[in-house]
Amino acid sequence: MTDDQDFAGQDLTGQDLSGPSSDGPSSDGVDRGRFAAGDLALFIDRKGRTYQHALADGGSFHSHLGELPHDKLIGEAVGGWYATNRGHVLLAIRPTLGDYVRLMPRGPQVIYAKDLGNIVAMADIFPGATVVEAGFGSGALTTALLRAVGPQGRVHSYEINPSVVPKALANVQSVIKDTSRLQVTVGDIFDGIAEAAVDRVILDLPEPWRAVDAAADALISGGILLSFLPTILQVQELTLTLNDDGRFARVETAETLLRGWNVTRRSVRPAHRMVAHSGFITTAVRCVPRYVAPRPADTEPADAESTEPAED
């Protein structure tokens, strides 16, 4: 928003700043172009500061910029401009999942949009998939997974610390109203995975190599294991365990570097700041165990001659 779009000090009482109306309901009958009670709104002030708020009948948004009754937004345009009682104009849009995760109440360390997108893509999470994840944490990754599996899919989340579950669940439900496709198990995933014929196992916890055996048992052949880890020594331990297990192939690790750009008429340059490191994404595909012929040295005395062909 530019300075001339801020009307601080002017009497805007009764003025409609919400702009053009939306095009009406989508094919599913929901008018996503207008706010409804229960929706999340993201307010953006003239300095670009963001405020996330759930709209409720009779509710109100309060900040140092003044008060904005929710009833002024409910039924009105998403992407409209709304004045507080102190004459400050706020742009109101829907938060993206990335916005929501950045601003939501926190428990354990969350995964941000930069990595959420690649996790969903690199684990190839698809509509209808059955996904097991651990841990539930603050619910950020779970929300992305639930969206990706869609109405026909399921997400089973293991969380060892029961105290984080209520906040994580509330976070998920702020974005996804119907969480009937989510099952949260309070327990240690290292003790085993109860679900069978699972399409994907997603691990965001400190020692994922301890879940490799259980993941291999639970995954369908061709299923994908993905782990998100902050340090490369953890990645090495996981990679060696996956390779030693014998039921995984295509074990690969990558990280995501995301750099914003500042684009104006006078200058176009990279943003001064970026998140240099968050975590490594390791993926592996559950395969039929590969037959590895015993090496002569494994089975025969050192001086014996082997008749087995050499493995590559």
Count of residues in contact with ligand SAM, rule CB under 6 A: 21
Position 119 contacts ligand SAM (CB under 6 A): no
Q: How far is the CB of 10 from ligand SAM (least distance, A)?
A: 43
Q: Does 109 bind ligand SAM (CB under 6 A)?
A: yes
Among the listed residues 233, 241, 104, the one whose alpha carbon sits nearest the alpha carbon of residue 176: 104
- Joined together, the tokens standing for residue 173 give 């439900």
Among 66, 69, 87, 108, contact with ligand SAM (rule: CB under 6 A)? 108
Burial of 294 (0-12, 13-18, 19+ CB in 10 A): exposed
Binding mask 146-185 for ligand SAM (x = CB under 6 A): ------------xxxx--x---------------------
Q: Judged by CB under 6 A, which stretch of 133-141, 214-222, 245-253, 269-277 contacts ligand SAM?
A: 133-141
Query: β-strand 80-83 against 130-134: which pairing, if any?
Result: unpaired
Among 125, 140, 229, 281, binds ligand SAM (CB under 6 A): 140
Residue 255 in the binding site for ligand SAM (CB under 6 A): no
Please report the DSSP string for 272-308 in residue order: S-------EEEEEEE-PPPP-PPPHHHHS-TTPPP-S
Contact criterion met (CB below 8 Å) for 141 and 202: yes
Give yes or no for a contact between 70 and 60, defined as CB atoms under 8 angstroms apart.
yes
Kindly state whether residue 104 participates in binding ligand SAM, applying the rule CB under 6 A. no
Least CB distance to ligand SAM at residue 187 (A): 7
**Omega prior to 135 cis, within 30 of 0:** yes
3-class secondary structure for 48-65?
A: CCEEEEECCCCCEEEECC
Closest CA to 115 of 257, 18, 239, 249: 257
d(CA 232, CA 115): 16
Give 138 or 227: the residue with its C-beta nearer to ligand SAM: 138
Piece in contact with ligand SAM (CB under 6 A), picked from 22-30, 139-147, 268-276, 297-305: 139-147
- CB nearer ligand SAM, residue 84 or residue 256: 256
The minimum distance between CB 175 and ligand SAM, in angstroms, equals 12
Q: Give 5 or 109: the residue with its C-beta nearer to ligand SAM.
A: 109
Site for ligand SAM in 3-42 (CB under 6 A): none
Interacting residues with ligand SAM (CB under 6 A)? 108-111, 134-135, 137-141, 158-161, 164, 188-190, 204-205
